[in-house]
Structures are given as C-alpha cells and as structure tokens.
C-alpha cells in the first residue's frame, strides 16, 4: 500500500506540473452546466469528467463543500486499506450494542442489543443504505478521523477530510459538518476506484461493487437507464445536498460530483430544489454523452418514490 501511495503522489505531482497541457475542458458542456446552475438559490459546485476522452467540465470544482454522508467514501477507503494491511477482515465478528444507536438513515439502529454481526455487514450498510450507526462504527475501526485524514493527505487530497469526532477539527465541523471535500477531489476518489488504482485492484473492485448498490435511486441515478451500471453515494442535510456518481455508459464512463451548500430550500419533499438540480444535471449528462439513446424516465416513474421521507 505504501508503494502504491508513493506512486500515486509522484503521479499527482507530475499531473500538477503539467495540468495546463493535459486537461482539456469541454467548454460546450461547461456552458450547459452553467446555464442549469445559474438560478440555484444557494452555492453550487460541479465536476464532470469523461474517462475515455479525458475532457472535463467544472463549476466551483475546487471550492470546499460539506460532504454529509459522502464522507462515508473516505471511511470506506481507509477500511479497505486496513484490510489490505491485514489489520481488519471482512470476517471480523462484532457485537452490536444499543449505546451505538444514532438517528437518521440506516437499519442497524433497529437491531436488538447484543446482536452479532461482521465487518462486511457494517461496510455494506454504510454504503448501500448510508447507515449512520455502521458508519460511525467503521470510522472507529478505520482508526478514527485522524487515520482517515492521514490517508487522504497521502493520496494528495488537500481538502477531503473527516471532521466529526476528530481531534483538532472542531471549527471545521462547525462549518462543514461530518466531512468536507471539493467536487474535483471526491470525483477523483471514485475515478481511482473505477480504474482499480486505490488500495489494490481487488479492494477497488469490491468498493466499486458496494457503491454500485445504492438504495437512493431517486436523484441523479433516476435519469440513467436502469440497465446501465452505476456507482454512487449521496449526502444530505437541511442546507446541503450532494451526490457522487459514475455511469458506465456505452460510449465511455463518466464521473460527476454535484455539491450544494447554503441552500434556501431546506425541505425534504421529492421536489427539493437541490434534488431537482441533481436530476437535471444527470439528465443532461446522459443525453450529452449518449446522444443516440432514446431512453427517458418512464411516465409515472416519479410517483413510485413520491412522498418518501428519509
């Protein structure tokens, strides 16, 4: 793993030195994104990269935004780093206790006290259902926020950090909540996972499988055909809604991170302005990268999920 990190740091340095020559901006897509986000009542950041062409489009892509539950992706990466190092195993037996109950999303808060579980279950619930109990537990097992942040630094990520329950980050927690990132940095994590470059090829594959089983299909994922492979993680609190997703499209994979903060619309209805924006951007991207596709969301598809409260 340390050799991989050194290689990654060298690559990042090389990229930084040559970024002006290497990055090709998709100015047409960027203009379309600017038009879509212009009227949003809050702050927006978007980063899109088509992996086959290398072209990208960015709006405030290097600004820091709250992650909310998307911080669970860096937690996931550190868990697999520890598995790779032999410090943890999917088979590790764990015992749930009621003092771990934490509100919000997830299922483990409803487990009976003293229920036996394992690390694989904790990881799956954290990613698929955004389970808060298992996420905080995984953060502990990963070595805490300090260990996760150290790994993010080693990977060349300057702003992606865990703030909650992390020594020395109280002010950051007050400003950003559980975690923070930039659209470009978080998208780069998913890109490295997809390319089998993060931790190890085997670990990357397993992380990608986990991210491909998202329960929250209501937002960006709803605008992509259900028979297309996607990997995603969502984050949501009152004033910030964000989404990370990769689409394995017929014409090539593309990764996107949509971040919002200081949102005027704090509602939890399905037509929340930020969630609508996520759908609109995802719809734009699918049709932009797959212009020959005649698929569109079925009439009445929104009714199935309408009214659900998370």
> Looking at the structure, do residues 80 and 175 belong to the same domain, yes or no?
yes
> Which residue in 281, 273, 204 sits closest to 247, CA to CA?
281
> Looking at the structure, do residues 141 and 98 belong to the same domain, yes or no?
yes
Residue 109 or residue 148, greater confidence = 148
Range of the domain at 83: 67-180
> Looking at the structure, do residues 172 and 237 belong to the same domain, yes or no?
no
240 within domain boundaries: yes
Cα–Cα distance, 260 to 114 (Å, whole number): 39
> Looking at the structure, do residues 79 and 144 belong to the same domain, yes or no?
yes
pLDDT in tens, 235-247: 999 999 999 999 9
Q: What is the 3-state secondary structure (H, E, C) of 138-206?
A: HHHHCCHHHHHHHHHHHCCCCCCEECCCCCCCHHHHHHHCCEEECHHHHHHHHHHHHCCCCCCHHHHHH
> Looking at the structure, do residues 279 and 237 belong to the same domain, yes or no?
yes
126 within domain boundaries: yes
Query: What whole-number percentage of the chain has pLDDT above 70?
Result: 93
Residue 161 or residue 302, greater confidence = 161
If one counts every other C-beta atom within 10 angstroms of the C-beta of residue 239, the result is: 17
pLDDT in tens, 273-300: 999 999 999 999 999 999 999 999 999 8
pLDDT of amino acid 1: 60
Query: Which ranges constitute the DSSP H helices of the chain?
Result: 2-17, 19-22, 27-37, 72-84, 119-128, 132-141, 144-154, 170-176, 183-194, 201-211, 273-289, 301-305
Looking up residue 86, the CATH number of its domain turns out to be 3.40.710.10
> Looking at the structure, do residues 160 and 251 belong to the same domain, yes or no?
no
Cα–Cα distance, 229 to 68 (Å, whole number): 24
pLDDT of amino acid 20: 42
> Looking at the structure, do residues 133 and 123 belong to the same domain, yes or no?
yes
> Looking at the structure, do residues 257 and 221 belong to the same domain, yes or no?
yes
pLDDT in tens, 203-245: 999 999 999 999 999 999 999 999 999 999 999 999 999 999 9
Residue 293 or residue 108, greater confidence = 293
Residue 11, pLDDT > 90, answer no
> Looking at the structure, do residues 191 and 263 belong to the same domain, yes or no?
yes
> Looking at the structure, do residues 188 and 41 belong to the same domain, yes or no?
yes
> Looking at the structure, do residues 188 and 119 belong to the same domain, yes or no?
no
Q: Which residue has tokens 């017929």?
A: 250
1 within domain boundaries: no
87 within domain boundaries: yes
Count of domains observed in the chain: 2
8 within domain boundaries: no
52 within domain boundaries: yes
Model's pTM, two decimal places? 0.92
83 within domain boundaries: yes
> Looking at the structure, do residues 174 and 82 belong to the same domain, yes or no?
yes
First to last CA, the chain: 37
298 within domain boundaries: no
């Amino acid at each position: 793993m340390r050799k991989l990190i050194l290689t990654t740091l060298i690559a990042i340095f090389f990229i930084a030195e040559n970024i002006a020559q290497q990055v090709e901006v998709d100015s047409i897509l960027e203009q379309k994104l600017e038009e879509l986000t212009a009227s949003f009542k809050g702050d927006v950041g978007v980063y899109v990269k088509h992996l086959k062409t290398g072209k990208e489009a960015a709006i405030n892509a290097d600004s820091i935004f709250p992650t909310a539950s998307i911080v669970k992706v860096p937690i996931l990466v550190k868990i697999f780093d520890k598995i790779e190092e032999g410090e943890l195993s999917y088979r590790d037996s764990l015992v749930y206790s009621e003092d771990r109950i934490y509100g919000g999303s997830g299922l483990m808060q409803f487990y009976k006290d003293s229920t036996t579980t394992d690390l694989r279950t904790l990881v799956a619930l954290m990613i698929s259902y955004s389970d808060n109990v298992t996420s905080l537990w995984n953060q502990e097992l990963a070595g805490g926020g300090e260990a996760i942040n150290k790994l993010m630094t080693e990977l060349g990520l300057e702003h992606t950090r865990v703030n909650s329950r992390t020594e020395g980050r109280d002010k950051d927690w007050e400003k950003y909540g559980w975690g923070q990132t930039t659209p470009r940095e978080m998208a780069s994590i998913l890109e490295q996972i997809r390319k089998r470059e993060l931790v190890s090829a085997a670990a990357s594959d397993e992380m990608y499988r986990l991210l491909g089983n998202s329960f929250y299909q209501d937002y960006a994922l709803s605008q992509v055909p259900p028979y297309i492979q996607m990997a995603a993680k969502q984050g949501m609190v009152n004033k910030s809604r964000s989404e990370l997703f990769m689409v394995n499209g017929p014409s090539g994979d593309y990764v996107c991170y949509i971040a919002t903060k200081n949102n005027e619309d704090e509602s939890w209805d399905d037509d929340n302005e930020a969630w609508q924006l996520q759908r609109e951007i995802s719809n734009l991207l699918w049709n932009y990268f797959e212009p020959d596709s005649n698929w569109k969301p079925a009439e009445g598809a929104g009714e199935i999920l309408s009214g659900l409260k998370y």
